[in-house]
């Protein structure tokens, strides 16, 4: 169980929330009890039996006791750029030549990618049988904190994209409930709940499905939703391809002129600049030219400046600090090609107060903001029928947790306290 609250280091007018909102341990315990009861009441729960053999008991999902301070301008930037992000990935997903050019260089050293590209070519050689396509998306970001160019004592907040999730999304129904819970907890301590923005994460998902059904044009068409993956191996392969291609595509999109290729319209010039600013620096490692070898050698000497990520993983099994140097020294060509080197995002102003039984401690955290939306388009003529966004999810984890998904036990559901 992890329940927490957050604070900052005094760089803004958001002070130590623990001291401001909580008078003493008795007050804290009462607030925690109230939050747990509310979580059960609003359905912010999951099954207690992880083996799924029983369905008659549940536990609340991990969450923060109060919302976390989050820069208002960064939140607005993430929300406003979502439609352009969705349009970008719609165009990328339908550009056969670009995808082949991006992924083919690694096919010679990766049998899995080579096999998938053969299947992709076979599919593309046939006519499009169903032109309508629905992209249900969540674009995840972190607030990168860096020193101001004007003063080393001032900090600048920058929006940096972690990944673009398409189709396989989770957490949207809990995100709505997190907003409800955190607004009520703020009311209990006399704070205006409107500081937490409105959230309709599950509503935007339902709207996307409805619009796709409507565009399909068959009145008696129905959705078939399966909660089980009968072919687990197929599902795992799909995830591997998604993660591998996503990292390689992100690197390709960051190259000069690529975003302009996908957005040739003059009216998108500013959107292109805004998207490019969200890209963290990334390097593909399959080449052995002088530039890449220079970066690798620098990373070996300065591993704290990077994170080494497997291309086929979804945010786990990353290497940090000295692990980076150790692995870069021993990787063969194929192993190196299966990884990317990335500039990490840093948050220095947040902290979390987890409650483990009667033991409470303060520790730094990092938070990840996801913006939900959908794009309904036609792959034959590239027409966009609907492009909408609404709702968000905020997840936080301890700063010292190198891996931290909520289901893995390292993260908690959160909400933004905008400042």
> Which tens digit of pLDDT belongs to each residue from 116-169?
888 889 988 988 888 999 999 999 998 887 665 555 656 788 999 988 888 767
**Structural domain contains residue 144:** no
Q: Is 315 annotated as a binding residue?
A: yes
**Structural domain contains residue 104:** yes
Percentage of the residues of the chain whose pLDDT score is greater than 70: 77
For position 213, what pLDDT does the model report?
A: 95
Report for 71-75, 216-220, 352-356: range of highest mean pLDDT:
71-75
Instruction: Extract the tokens encoding 175.
Output: 């995100």
Instruction: Extract the tokens encoding 209.
Output: 């499905």
Alpha-carbon span 27 to 334, nearest angstrom: 56
Domain range spanning residue 15?
3-132+164-273+346-418
**Structural domain contains residue 336:** no
Number of domains in the chain: 1
C-alpha dihedral, 346 to 351 to 355 to 358, nearest 10°? 130
User: pLDDT at residue 380 above 50?
Assistant: yes
For position 64, what pLDDT does the model report?
A: 87
pLDDT band at 342 (very low <50, low <70, confident <90, very high): confident
More confident residue, 378 or 165: 378
Q: Is 313 annotated as a binding residue?
A: yes
Q: Is 347 annotated as a binding residue?
A: no
For position 406, what pLDDT does the model report?
A: 59
pTM exceeds 0.85, yes or no: no
Q: How many residues does the chain have?
A: 419
Mean pLDDT, all residues of the chain:
81
For position 163, what pLDDT does the model report?
A: 86
User: pLDDT at residue 307 above 90?
Assistant: no
For position 36, what pLDDT does the model report?
A: 92
Estimate the share of the chain in helix, then strand, then coil, as percent rounded to the nearest 5.
40, 25, 35
**Partners of 377 in the beta sheet?**
133, 384
Sheet holding 282-284, edge to edge: 282-284, 339-342, 307-310, 319-320
Which residue do the tokens 């996503």 mark? 246
**Structural domain contains residue 283:** no
User: pLDDT at residue 386 above 80?
Assistant: yes
Flag the least confident range among 35-39, 67-71, 232-236, 397-401.
232-236
**Structural domain contains residue 302:** no
379 contacts: CB under 8 Å, gap ≥ 6:
94, 128, 131, 132, 133
Q: Is 318 annotated as a binding residue?
A: yes
Q: Is 310 annotated as a binding residue?
A: yes
Q: Is 176 annotated as a binding residue?
A: no
User: pLDDT at residue 237 above 60?
Assistant: no
Residue 268 three-state SS: helix
Q: Is 329 annotated as a binding residue?
A: no
**Structural domain contains residue 303:** no
Q: Is 240 annotated as a binding residue?
A: no
Flag the least confident range among 4-13, 73-82, 238-247.
4-13
Q: Is 264 annotated as a binding residue?
A: no
**Structural domain contains residue 47:** yes
**Structural domain contains residue 299:** no
Q: Is 368 annotated as a binding residue?
A: yes
For position 133, what pLDDT does the model report?
A: 94
Q: Is 395 annotated as a binding residue?
A: yes
User: pLDDT at residue 353 above 60?
Assistant: no
């Amino acid at each position: 169980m992890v329940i927490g609250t957050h604070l900052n280091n005094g760089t803004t007018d958001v002070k130590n929330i623990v001291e401001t909102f909580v008078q003493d341990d008795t007050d804290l315990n009462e607030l925690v009890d109230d939050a747990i009861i509310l979580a059960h009441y609003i359905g912010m729960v999951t099954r207690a039996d992880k083996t799924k053999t029983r369905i008659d008991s549940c536990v609340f999902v991990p969450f923060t006791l109060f919302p976390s301070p989050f820069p208002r301008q960064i939140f607005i930037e993430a929300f406003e750029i979502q439609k352009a992000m969705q349009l970008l990935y719609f165009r990328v997903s339908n550009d056969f030549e670009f995808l082949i050019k991006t992924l083919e260089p690694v096919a010679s050293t990766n049998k899995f990618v080579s096999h998938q590209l053969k299947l992709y070519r076979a599919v593309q050689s046939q006519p499009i049988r169903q032109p309508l396509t629905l992209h249900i998306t969540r674009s995840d970001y972190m607030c990168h904190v860096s020193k101001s160019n004007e003063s080393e004592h001032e900090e600048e907040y920058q929006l940096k994209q972690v990944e673009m999730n398409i189709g396989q999304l989770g957490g949207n129904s809990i995100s709505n409930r997190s907003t409800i819970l955190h607004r009520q907890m703020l009311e209990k301590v006399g704070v205006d709940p409107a500081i937490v923005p409105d959230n309709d994460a599950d509503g935007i998902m339902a709207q996307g499905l409805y619009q796709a059904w409507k565009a399909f044009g068959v009145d008696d068409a129905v959705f078939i939703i399966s909660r089980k993956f009968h072919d687990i191996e197929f599902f795992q392969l799909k995830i591997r391809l998604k993660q591998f291609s996503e990292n390689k595509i992100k690197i390709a999109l960051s190259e000069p002129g690529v975003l302009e290729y996908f957005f040739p319209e003059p009216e998108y010039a500013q959107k292109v600049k805004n998207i490019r600013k969200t890209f963290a620096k990334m390097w593909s490692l399959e080449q052995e030219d002088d530039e890449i070898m220079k970066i690798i050698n620098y990373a070996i000497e300065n591993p704290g400046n990077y994170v080494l990520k497997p291309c086929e993983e979804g945010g786990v099994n990353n290497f940090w600090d000295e692990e980076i140097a150790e692995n870069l020294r021993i990787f063969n060509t194929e192993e190196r090609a299966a990884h990317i080197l990335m500039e990490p995002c840093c948050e220095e102003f947040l902290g979390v107060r987890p409650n483990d039984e009667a033991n409470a401690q303060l520790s730094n955290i990092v938070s990840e903001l996801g913006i939900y939306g959908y794009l309904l388009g036609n792959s034959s003529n590239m027409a966009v029928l609907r492009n909408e966004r609404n709702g968000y999810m905020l997840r936080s984890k301890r700063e010292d947790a190198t891996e931290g998904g909520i289901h893995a036990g390292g993260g908690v559901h959160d909400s933004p306290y905008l400042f």
